[in-house]
Chain A
Amino acid sequence: MPTVSVKRDLLFEALGQKYTDEEFDELCFEFGLELDEITSEKEILSREQGDEKAEGASDVVLYKIDVPANRYDLLCLEGLVRGLQVFKEKLEAPRYKRVSPADGGEPQRLVITEETASVRPHAVAAVLRNITFTQERYESFIELQEKLHQNVCRKRTLVAIGTHDLDTISGPFTYTAKAPGDIRFKPLNQSKEYTATELMSLYKTDSHLRHYLHIIENEPLYPIIYDSNGIVLSMPPIINGDHSKISLNTKNVFIECTATDLTKAKVTLDMVVTMFSEYCDEPFTVEEAEVVYPDGRLCVYPELAYRTETLSGDFINKRVGINESVESIAQLLTRMYLRSEVSGEGDLIQVEIPPTRSDVIHACDIMEDAAIAYGFNNIVRSTPRTYTVANQLPLNKLTELLRQDLAAAGFTEALTFALCSQEDIADKLRKNITETRAVHISNPKTAEFQVARTSLLPGLLKTLAANRKMPLPLKLFEISDVVLKDETKDVGARNNRRLCAVYYNKSPGFEVIHGLLDRVMQLLDVKPGRNQGYNIQAAEDSTFFPGRCAEIFSCGKSIGHLGVLHPDVISRFELTMPCSAIDIDIEPFL
């Protein structure tokens, strides 16, 4: 969930009202936001870097507000204020308009060459005319781009935004791709020119930019945008050129978004221009720009598309569980930035979805907004009449019953991790990893998460090792799932429910573990005997001490092993006493 940081006093000034922290928190809760933290730059610095560094930092109160991940229109102060003002019915949602250049001028044009196809094939563009920045607006403008980059743009992999002072460059612009050695320009906030190859190594150590290098690093051609005089606007998705950088004095802003996902690029561009066209001489208007594709296709951006959905009041009432008139529902939706009108036809409502609400993709999204505006906590809570009879999963029912009786038999339940290291299930148990049928994890951050366990035994032995100070004997059990590769399953693996128990004492206590087997079989109503019953037979298993291991058969089928653990196994788990163990599959007893 993205967090937007805004200055409290600026926020209240824009809202035209002062709130106490509690009142504002309550407003956020109702609207689906969360006032996560009340802090200041000074406080943040002193927490992260110590009081000394915080000396002299600003102590202006900051609100950190958590915004739902799909509400890109609330990622800056301007959007938050607009959303809340409309919600509080203090403001009518503005209408965003795309306009042609004044005085019949030609629109700015961005030409895409075919070289971009392999690396970053899409681009969109727009112009904000006669904008007035202040320090605060400027900071918010930069911050919004950063928030969009982190969210809808998926860390610039899908979309990268570049904003430029239009008066420093001249169109038409060319979006192409070139070999890194052939690209040379002065990047933002640097004092000299670099080739793209040099830039990539320069930014290797940049705490911010190094996270984006991988997006194009291994591409033969890097995306690059030039103006008609060969000045570099940007090398997306890494860095803009220094030449066209915007400042507080910038009046006209050229915005380009390059992308691998065109839908997201359009959304991103719409967000930037809808949020900041507020500060244009003619507010909420955006000057169009043309994008020419390699095949000659010409598209005009920003789309700023309004869409109308028609749905019935009955649908909203029935899904939410309320009983409101269509007029009232239309009003609820209008408060959520979805300008709505009763159509007059039956109980139909026409809902206009503005370009800022790209999250609304289905009638259910509209229904939710009606419920939010109505107030979730004003909805009458009622019990569904759904009549059903409960059933337990037979495997879990058996597990629950056995757990109770194993505890009654004097064993204590352990709860160990389903993930572990290869070593735990192989080397430490004196097994070869290839014979374990283990499922392997491709991206473990540490060795603890290399594989899914194929046996419960390592977990129990580690539990013993962590509790060596406890009085002996230690008697532990666990009934849980292991994971084994199984080609007959759609995903190529399956769980297997197993019962494992260990007895740890000064003497191995094989008879204790054997007695536990007898007790478990008694509980499962399986009598001792060779064919219809259960029996054990001497077996060799590398985990166990030679001559002290038996295989367990039930109704002629092998279900597991019991025995005294091999001394190497004991010492590899950092244990010092003899230990006997039993490990059986309980699925045959369903």
Chain B
Amino acid sequence: MADTGLLEALLRLLEKVDGGIDSQDVAADLGVDHQLIVGAVKSLQALGEVISAEQKSSKRWELTGEGCEIAEQGSHEARVFNAIPDEGLPQNQLMKMPSGKVGFSKAMSNKWIRLDKAHEGGPRVFKTVETIEDTVRNKLQLVQKGLSAKLEDKERNELKKRKLLSEVTVKSYWITKGSSFSTTITKQETELTPEMIASGSWKEKKFKPYNFEAMGVAPDCGHLHPLMKVRTQFRQIFLEMGFTEMPTNNFIESSFWNFDSLFQPQQHPARDQHDTFFISDPALAHKFPQDYLERVKQVHSEGGYGSQGYKYDWKIEEAQKNLLRTHTTAVSARMLYKLAQQEKFTPVKYFSIDRVFRNETLDATHLAEFHQIEGVVADYGLTLGNLMGILHQFFTKLGITKLRFKPAYNPYTEPSMEVFSYHEGLKKWVEVGNSGVFRPEMLLPMGLPEGVSVIAWGLSLERPTMIKYGINNIRELVGHKVNLQMVYDSPICRLDS
């Protein structure tokens, strides 16, 4: 807050005028620096409607540093003239004066002085007139007094050319009275205090207005990771649909549960070193349900359960190989096998969302590990129409209502369907998941009853999250290279909006 005395002085000046007043004139009137008046205007503006002020800019002539010196001490030529005694001065001595060079040539062209080159003892300078009038100094002094208007354009420009004058732009305020104009200042309070509440003094006080344009102070808090926020939502959706969570906390799996139990043949390319991470320690799994293993071996190598089988030499050594699971379907297989061991079959709906691993080439959208979302329903008499119906319900909860299905191939589901949704932004159908009915060659060896169908679908957690949060490079989302600012700033996740 500027000095109250200055504020009141400004207000008294303003009171006297009819329209408004320029802040520069106020500065001149009160004999203070213009910047102080600018400060006062701002302080008064903060008090509410006491004054109103409009910024304007005007041009003004000002003396340069050299100009000031001349206004004070006289022009160079005058100084040269005054330095010359009646008997003259050697030129070289004159040139040693600070104003010597410029002053000499100007005084010469004004014909105030003459040079006698032939003088004995070297060239010597003599006055040619008795008195002079220092017009340059006079003009500059006029400008200094704020009377530059008295000079003609030509004169000002000449002084400007000599770098004695310069034209500057001045920002000033045009000040007028405000709706609650008064010449006395009431100090404004910044904040309400407990004392004011207790004494009731708040009623008489004026409060400084808040700047609602500014941002607030960020709360001191932690943040959940966006991918995990999306995971929570998917979990919620499955729970709303009555699905029970599967125990997927086993990243290491045997080839048996990951592939063989799913009727995926041992020469299948997915079982290649290029696609799957195999484990060197502990390299092999040792315990299997033995009779089930025999049935799996049989259905692969000879067929059975209405199947031709793959007719190849099935090897336990391949099935024993440990790996990092390539899909959570390995867990679904374990759960369905467990279900088949129940005395009496009961319908189930299972889900899981957890990490899976692929030894693939990495790029902006693929990592060696990602989260798979999986849903499984087992019951008597489930149809392909049921699978589509449940997918429709599931995707509706994600805000996706336009679905269509494309026939696809998957070794352990038949029929297999790729799920496409219409993307309004891209104006085309995009793949959003995979689905199918588990093959009898997978289910029957487990011991599930003949009439039981198991429908299932899966999708990745990362892809919908990247779309949701507008992330193009998966490394900015998953892993240690995450941008924490992105984590701090990410909004809550509502998948259906």
Contact = CB atoms under 8 A, between A and B. Distances in A.
A483 B251 contact: yes
A411 B306 CA distance: 57
B406 A376 contact: yes
Contacts of A494: 250, 252
Contacts of B223: 407, 412-413
B414 A377 contact: no
Interface in B341-369: 347-349, 355, 357, 359, 367-369
Interface stretch (A274-282, A327-335, A364-372): A364-372
A368 B252 contact: no
Contacts of A483: 251-252
Interface in B394-430: 404-409, 411, 414-417
A376 B403 CA distance: 11
Interface string B365-406: 001110000000101011111101110110000000000111
A248 interface: no
A68 B408 contact: yes
B225 interface: yes
Most-contacted residue by chain A among B227, B386, B415 (CB, 10 A): B415
Contact of B480 (A365, A368, A417): A417
B191 to A, nearest CB: 27
A388 B349 contact: yes
B487 A412 contact: yes
A364 B324 CA distance: 30
A376 B250 contact: no
A523 to B, nearest CB: 14
Nearest to B478: A415
Nearest to A383: B389
Interface string A334-349: 0000000000000000
A388 B348 contact: yes
A365 B440 CA distance: 10
A442 B279 contact: yes
Nearest to B371: A415
A348 to B, nearest CB: 15
B393 A390 contact: no
Interface stretch (A107-115, A224-232, A484-492): A484-492
A319 B443 CA distance: 15
A109 to B, nearest CB: 25
A408 interface: yes
Interface string B220-256: 1111110110001001001111111111011111100
B479 interface: yes
B282 to A, nearest CB: 3
Given A396-B245, A413-B228, A418-B251, A467 B437 contact: no
B14 to A, nearest CB: 47
Interface residues of A, number: 98
A319 to B, nearest CB: 6
B77 interface: no
B372 to A, nearest CB: 13
Contacts of A376: 384, 388, 404-407, 415, 417
Contact of B393 (A383, A395, A409, A491): A383
B280 interface: yes
B269 interface: yes
Given A68-B408, A382-B389, A440-B280, A415 B227 contact: yes
A452 B222 contact: no
B334 to A, nearest CB: 10
Nearest to B488: A412
Contacts of A388: 242-244, 347-349
Contacts of B176: none
Interface residues of B, number: 102
A407 B222 contact: yes
Contacts of B306: 362-363
A408 B409 contact: no
Given A70-B409, A388-B244, A463-B482, A410 B220 contact: yes
Nearest to B267: A154
A298 interface: no
B225 A364 contact: no
Contact of B273 (A443, A475, A492): A443
Contacts of A407: 221-224
Contact of B224 (A263, A413, A452): A413
Interface in A430-461: 439-445, 448-449, 452, 459-460
Given A408-B222, A415-B478, A362 B414 contact: yes
Contacts of A389: 242, 244
B440 A362 contact: yes
B487 A413 contact: yes
A364 B269 contact: no
A412 B480 contact: no
Interface in B275-307: 277-288, 303, 305-307
B242 A390 contact: yes
B203 interface: no
B481 A466 contact: yes
A92 interface: no
A441 B408 contact: no
Contact of B384 (A359, A379, A411, A459): A379
Most-contacted residue by chain B among A68, A371, A400, A406 (CB, 10 A): A371
Contacts of A414: 225, 480, 482
A421 to B, nearest CB: 12
A418 B267 contact: no
Interface stretch (B84-92, B151-159, B206-214, B309-317): B309-317
Given A407-B221, A492-B322, A263 B312 contact: yes
30 contacts: A1-B409, A31-B407, A158-B267, A263-B311, A264-B312, A321-B385, A322-B385, A361-B309, A362-B441, A367-B415, A368-B415, A376-B388, A381-B385, A384-B386, A390-B241, A417-B368, A417-B480, A419-B357, A441-B277, A441-B278, A441-B279, A443-B273, A445-B359, A452-B324, A463-B482, A465-B480, A475-B222, A481-B251, A491-B250, A492-B284
Counting from the closest, the 10 A-B pairs by CB-CB distance are A321-B385, A321-B383, A32-B407, A492-B282, A68-B409, A462-B480, A442-B280, A368-B415, A407-B222, A490-B287
